[in-house]
Amino acid sequence: MQFRVPKGTTDIVPDVAVKWQYLERKAVELFKTYGYKPIITPIFEHTEVFTRSIGSSTDIVQKEMYTFEDKGKRSLTLRPEGTAPVIRSYVEQNMNQLPQPVKLYYTGPMFRYERPQAGRYRQFWQIGVEAIGSDDPAVDAESILLLVNYFKAVGLKELTLYINSMGCENDRPQYIEMLKEYAEAKRESLCNDCVKRVDLNPLRLFDCKNETCQAVMADAPKLIDHLCESCSGHFDEVKHYLEMQCVNYTIKPELVRGLDYYTKTTFEIVSPLLGAQNAIGGGGRYNKLVEEFGGPSTPGIGFALGTERLALAVEKEGVFDVNENSTEVFIAVADPAAKHAAVNILYQLRSNDISSDIDYMNRSLKAQLNAANRRGIRYFVFLGSRELEAGAVVVKDMEDGAQVEVKLNELVEHLTGLVGAAK
């Protein structure tokens, strides 16, 4: 009997996991620079946390949630996204008592029951940030710039930044009526899903992948042309801050992020190298969400990026600097009689922060060297009975083949020097 991973999931094997860790490490470094702190929320929440916030008419809530009843008859849902849990926590933990805005980041798996395809899984990883408590357009710009600068930090060069404004609660009802009227008149040209959307959630009409629907929606009225004065002023400020940092952007009125809670600024970053599934990150402002969770009226903004797709993009044009995870020293035991002494040396090296390993498979010396070579270990220490008697070992640099004899009591110092210089 052999088991396979559930459909839509995958193992992140060590060679890939070290790359993910690198991406996460770079993110955390940058988030700190921007004043963001980590938060860790449960993987599952009460189902209502998501139905209330994401919107009951969205695809996520309608078809994609992993919802189950636990043994205590509670309806729980594996989180399909990271913002709602963070806002739930902001309200529950009274973070409005802290200096505002509260700036948080999270990383971890999310779950959506979607059709699996290249780069899209049912369990997928996100890195995200939220800045809660300020409606300053400079915070919008900060969120966008943080995402842009993070992608640059991991070596991405070809990026397109799309921005849009979804307006406020005053702009939307009027606009939605206008949109409904427009779509109603074009009903015959729309796909079945879109016909349903006209009544259920007309904003989602822009999300349809059907070409005919897209053609129809290209001429639809755009929210960005119907913003109130305050919202268009806010948007102008955001653009100004981006221009100050020489960040190019394209205004994309069709950019309606797939969740109901967005207000004002929304944004998305696309890597043209990725083909159809080319969005690698995006987010927006959600000024009504905290209230929705029973907190005081509090604005907020954030973004999330998908680790899988980012890793693909970095594979294509970025740099994975993952060396620091590899083992640096291998102790080759030439003679079983030297095993105990070799293990002693191994722990001596490790307690001096030298990443090191030894053979655990009773291999011949030759097979030990082959295995260590396959692992890409650079320095070999040869140890047999003769070396023990002489109190000295041979250290070989596999990169240039250089060998030196080193006294046992100087080995730690010698290797520390070599490994330090190689870094």
CA distance to 81, 336, 389, 400, per residue, from 407 (Å): 57, 21, 11, 21
Q: Which stretch binds Zn ion (CB under 5 A): 10-18, 52-60, 209-217, 340-348?
A: 209-217
If the CB atoms of residues 144 and 213 are measured against Zn ion, the closer one turns out to be: 213
Least distance to Zn ion from the beta carbon of 193, Å? 5
If the CB atoms of residues 171 and 359 are measured against Zn ion, the closer one turns out to be: 171
Q: Which stretch binds Zn ion (CB under 5 A): 162-170, 333-341, 379-387, 403-411?
A: 162-170
Residue 215 interacting with Zn ion (CB under 5 A): no
Residue 220 interacting with Zn ion (CB under 5 A): no
Q: Which stretch binds Zn ion (CB under 5 A): 139-147, 160-168, 276-284, 352-360?
A: 160-168
Q: Residue 210 — φ and ψ, nearest 5°? A: -65, 130
Residue 231 interacting with Zn ion (CB under 5 A): yes
Query: Could you tell me if 50 and 44 are in contact, meaning their C-beta atoms sit under 8 angstroms apart?
Result: no
Q: Which stretch binds Zn ion (CB under 5 A): 180-188, 206-214, 270-278, 322-330?
A: 206-214
Binding mask 360-399 for Zn ion (x = CB under 5 A): ----------------------------------------
Q: Which two tokens stand for residue 314?
A: 């970095």
Compute, in degrees rounded to 10, the torsion defined by CA atoms 108, 111, 117, 119: -10
Residue partners of 30: CB distance under 8 A and separation at least 6: 146, 149, 150, 153
**Pick from 178, 191, 195, 279: which binds Zn ion (CB under 5 A)?**
191
Query: What are the residues facing 69 on neighbouring strands?
Result: 75
Residue 171 interacting with Zn ion (CB under 5 A): yes
Residue 232 interacting with Zn ion (CB under 5 A): no
CA distance to 20, 172, 227, per residue, from 60 (Å): 26, 21, 27
CA distance to 165, 166, 254, 391, per residue, from 257 (Å): 11, 9, 9, 68
Q: Which stretch binds Zn ion (CB under 5 A): 81-89, 170-178, 234-242, 281-289?
A: 170-178
Residue partners of 32: CB distance under 8 A and separation at least 6: none
Rounded CA gap, 302 and 285, in Å?
7
Closest CA to 220 of 236, 235, 232, 202: 202
Rg (CA), the chain: 28
Least distance to Zn ion from the beta carbon of 241, Å? 19
Q: Which stretch binds Zn ion (CB under 5 A): 24-32, 187-195, 278-286, 308-316?
A: 187-195
Eight-class DSSP state of 63: I
Rounded CA gap, 23 and 13, in Å?
15
Size of the site for Zn ion (CB under 5 A): 10
Is residue 136 classed as helix, strand or coil in its secondary structure?
A: coil
| Near Zn ion in 53-92, by CB under 5 A | none
Compute, in degrees rounded to 10, the torsion defined by CA atoms 204, 60, 137, 26: -130
**Pick from 167, 283, 295, 302: which binds Zn ion (CB under 5 A)?**
167
If the CB atoms of residues 174 and 326 are measured against Zn ion, the closer one turns out to be: 174
Q: Which two tokens stand for residue 195?
A: 């016909």
Least distance to Zn ion from the beta carbon of 66, Å? 26
| Near Zn ion in 120-139, by CB under 5 A | none
Least distance to Zn ion from the beta carbon of 138, Å? 18
**Pick from 21, 67, 189, 210: which binds Zn ion (CB under 5 A)?**
210
Q: Which stretch binds Zn ion (CB under 5 A): 55-63, 137-145, 205-213, 290-298?
A: 205-213
Alpha helices in 34-136 (DSSP H): 47-54, 59, 83-92
Residue 168 interacting with Zn ion (CB under 5 A): yes
Binding mask 17-36 for Zn ion (x = CB under 5 A): --------------------
List residues binding Zn ion (CB under 5 A).
167-168, 171, 191, 194, 208, 210, 213, 228, 231
